[in-house]
Chain A
């Protein structure tokens, strides 16, 4: 700070920063990308370890014996499901009661804002069935949840069978200190949302549900089970939840520890762990695993039924059985033993899981990158914005050097009016508001006038508003304050750059992946755009780096990472469905990505678009 309090040295530092602004910015960008790619390199990451003592040192024995019976129950469930053509409520109630649980049902209904074409549903009515195993001598203050979805078709029958088998086995044990809730939810996430909202008596999304009759106090942790085959080759753990929230790392550690103990292959993002980190393929494997996590987290959607628990500060994960073509198979008894072990350890918890990290990325199940390691990558990108802001500030406050030809006129030096900055700000935000509101509002009109379905209408309206926004704002400022001045665009850009810095900073704190991906594309735009760069080329670059194209690239990139590359045609259809899913996620579960993009990021990008066409 002594450096800054000396005016000479301050001047020297500032002149250095303004003179070398462009190279420093380029260097920062390059360093940020390198830092981020380095995160997956194994020597730079930390090994996972169990932080919670209550789960670490205590030994539990897993003795769940009846996998075969659980499978038989699963078959019975499947038969009843087929007979009823949905959730076999009566059968489930009877079966759970026979296992000595307190059984309750909950009905719910929800009309979607527009039909969901992926899952083919519009008006959803369903029933959740749950049974509570009351812990002996416990006063109903704490609970754990094990859930399995009742899926259409032949999916997840084994999961429900195993859930009932575990319920039967757990019931005869005496060591439970927390109530255990066995939940079978219909219509996957919608049912889960209804149950959770009812349990906590909140209503954030306008769903109709009947109140719950039985509760078990505050839920400490939850596991969601997905199992669709009698034998499995590996178990996958899914962590990404709503709005990019993650459960405490100890939950993942617990899963990993038991997989190691029992000898089950375990994966994250469906990818096994490799030991050859020093080879190129090993490194690229780790990078791809981490990138998958980044992409999933950035999407802000719940990637399993567990994702909705995280809002209520309940640590939750989905455990998914995968049956591939490997030779080595694991039977359901072993999976049951693994879940038993995990539940017994969670039962031993004295406090909520809080010891380990809540912000992390995982390049493999045994290694993690904590917030302290990945934040510098974002910080380097954010520095670029601050440097540009400094540069603009210096240009604005220092008197412009009188040009050699003496044209530096007085009028240009007068500070631009508030209106010239405020007008583009207001107009671009109004465009953003239109992007947020119009698609769902105008779907009926669109369906009447164009030969499209409701879902297509919503997506196409969104794209139309987005494109229309490009034409609108860049001329409007002239209407109010005459010709744009040289000072004018500088002030506007200063505002826009600082706005973007704050916006991305806040986003990255909550959802690092989303913040980083947006920063990666928007920061170069913010850095280079001025009214004096070549218009056509810059406009193309600007559009390519706009949020909509970022999403398009992400779709293709994600398919590439999943090893399911798609043609451009399929990719485009996928892109449209991703947009509709994003809007649905917002209305159904309260995901914030769509409003964030529509109301904040897109208007911010429009400001830069405005600067490019400044006249």
Chain B
């Protein structure tokens, strides 16, 4: 059968209330193939990933590298959420017999492909969520034994992760939107996140045959004060220090969307102006976008280069009220116990909705699950579903999943106390006084939508609105990550181990030993030994038969 490929690229730019600007790249390669059989030709699909998928029988793979924390209160919801650090979750085919071994091998291979420390994923930070991470593509089974989820909150993302990511693109960074991805600007931002998502999708409406979809996404937020010098004026050149001259020749579609919904009174102007407008339903809201189609030569104008400029006429910014947001912190002081507080805000004025909370806590924080409380508006809020898997020391982390109903316009607080474990001295990191990380908790929710969501998957839509599948019109799916935690554990003074060891040994040996000796021994006065002369005299006296001296 003829193998069909499709490659699309897309950039969405959304001006944010805070004056910052959000740019989201998506590159999508769809490959109509039965990828379970042996494959030798990959064409547009990156071979390195294709081989990994067929070798390890991966059904879905989602990996993200994020530097920074998405500020929901300032920026609203992102198109693609991701937690700080690295996140990896994989659904394996149900033909895989030893999932754990395959997972271990897969993480090591991915570690090489993306130049990241994914090889630090092991059984102590891997969990199998029962409900929070359902397959995003077509799936005929959701047995969570074939799911593995892990985060590395400490992972630092930098250029060495960007380069291999760019190499997976059909045009590399030579042409198309990827020209803009220059690391000196991308890492001069408030937030940077890059991800790879592989999943099986339907080819057509009846969904008889599946095709493999590879989405590479990159999200970046530029700061008004640091990158923008405090001036509310953004252009492609100011953001990326490049302009666009052509689309990727292999791309079937290549577009730039600018979100102009918040511009009813012409608070900002776009240049060059475009008459192409598009509407899309995204994150429960109908948004209007100005579109630049890069496959059309006319877009580049006479100067043969496109530098979209957004200039504000008036400046005003206020705090957003996103419908759902979450935060987390550690309460208490001292190095013995503590309490994890997770706050979930439902800002919807009259609708309550359920959320799934997933917490994965390392074993060295010993959770006291009997202290778990969930309160909303001062009242106990009993979760309708709780899945808890206790930790095993040095083996696996705690996993806590809960289905909680958030009442309208409320804050729901989940608290659980913990005790800090004393590690063995080789288990401390090289910088133990920095603290130990606890990964973000994940809040997955079906939020009531203000407009009807689009459930037709085959209709032509911008890429950014089609990542999470929508099953019903009245609500949409979002995922919110809380901040990771940094927890100090009781730490010995490593700066002078030699002194410590010497001193301890001396005190124990000398002090304790001899004191013990003194306390337990019974003392008796011994007759002094007679001198030599006396002994000889006694011998003589004995021979003479007189009593000795």
Contact = CB atoms under 8 A, between A and B. Distances in A.
Q: Do A and B bind each other?
A: yes
A350 B430 CA distance: 11
Interface in B22-78: 67-69, 71, 73-74
Contacts of A312: 333
B439 to A, nearest CB: 10
Contact of B341 (A100, A102, A201, A354): A201
Nearest to A175: B226
B431 A174 contact: no
A171 B224 CA distance: 10
Interface in B58-103: 67-69, 71, 73-74, 84-85
Contacts of B230: 100, 172
A80 interface: no
Given A136-B189, A139-B153, A174 B226 contact: yes
Contacts of A351: 431-434
Nearest to B187: A137
Nearest to B494: A354
A142 B437 CA distance: 11
Interface stretch (A1-9, A522-530, A532-540): A1-9
B74 to A, nearest CB: 7
B329 interface: yes
Contacts of B525: 7
Nearest to A141: B486
A173 B190 CA distance: 12
A137 B85 contact: no
Given A7-B523, A201-B341, A217-B483, A138 B68 contact: yes
B433 A1 contact: no
Contacts of A5: 514, 517-518, 521, 523
Contacts of A139: 68-69, 84-85, 153, 483-484
B483 A141 contact: yes
A102 B73 contact: yes
A352 B334 CA distance: 14
A142 B190 contact: no
Contacts of A137: 67-68, 187, 189-192
A215 interface: yes
A140 B482 CA distance: 10
A615 interface: no
A136 B187 CA distance: 9
B327 interface: yes
B: contact size bracket: 35 or more
Interface string B176-202: 000000000001111110000000000
A205 interface: no
B433 A140 contact: no
A134 interface: yes
B226 A200 contact: no
B6 interface: no
Nearest to B73: A102
B488 interface: yes
A313 B71 CA distance: 28
B523 to A, nearest CB: 5
Given A313-B333, A352-B488, A1 B434 contact: no
Interface in A311-346: 311-313
Contact of A134 (B190, B493, B518): B190
A99 to B, nearest CB: 9
Contacts of A200: 331-333
B483 A140 contact: yes
- Majority DSSP secondary structure for residues of B touching A: loop
A134 B71 contact: yes
Given A171-B225, A172-B226, A201-B339, A140 B69 contact: yes
Q: Which of A100, A102, A355 has the most CB of B within 10 A?
A: A100
Nearest to A355: B495
Given A173-B226, A200-B333, A311-B333, A352 B84 contact: no
A218 interface: yes
Nearest to B68: A137
B210 interface: no
Interface string B500-540: 00000000001000110110010101000000000000000
Nearest to B319: A102
Contact of A354 (B225, B332, B433, B487): B433
Interface string A179-213: 00000000000000000000011100000000000
A56 B487 CA distance: 25
Interface in A81-103: 100, 102
Contacts of B518: 1, 4-5
A350 B434 contact: yes
A218 B190 contact: no
Given A141-B483, A141-B485, A350 B332 contact: no
A5 B516 CA distance: 11
Given A142-B486, A218-B488, A136 B226 contact: yes
B351 to A, nearest CB: 23
A7 to B, nearest CB: 5
A201 B331 contact: yes
B416 interface: no
A171 B521 CA distance: 72
A40 B67 CA distance: 50
Interface in A499-520: none
A1 B509 CA distance: 12
B331 A202 contact: yes
A258 B126 CA distance: 46
B469 interface: no
B224 to A, nearest CB: 7
A102 to B, nearest CB: 7
A355 B434 CA distance: 12
B448 interface: no
Most B CB contacts (10 A, CB to CB) among A140, A215, A350, A351 go to: A140
A137 B71 CA distance: 11
Interface string A141-177: 1100000000000000000000000000001111000
A351 B74 CA distance: 29
Contacts of A100: 224-225, 230
Contacts of B432: 351
A134 B74 CA distance: 11
Contacts of A142: 486
Nearest to B491: A354
Interface in A354-372: 354-355
Given A102-B74, A202-B332, A217 B521 contact: no
Nearest to B71: A134
B188 A174 contact: yes
Interface of B: 67-69, 71, 73-74, 84-85, 153, 187-192, 223-226, 229-230, 327, 329-335, 339, 341, 431-435, 437, 483-488, 493, 495, 510, 514-515, 517-518, 521, 523, 525
16 contacts: A1-B517, A4-B514, A4-B518, A5-B521, A7-B523, A100-B225, A100-B230, A134-B71, A137-B192, A138-B68, A171-B225, A172-B225, A202-B332, A312-B333, A352-B434, A354-B433
Which 4 residue pairs are nearest across A and B when measured between Cβ atoms?
A139-B84, A201-B331, A1-B514, A351-B433
Given A102-B73, A134-B69, A141-B485, 9 more contacts: A5-B518, A139-B68, A139-B69, A139-B84, A171-B226, A202-B331, A218-B487, A313-B488, A351-B433
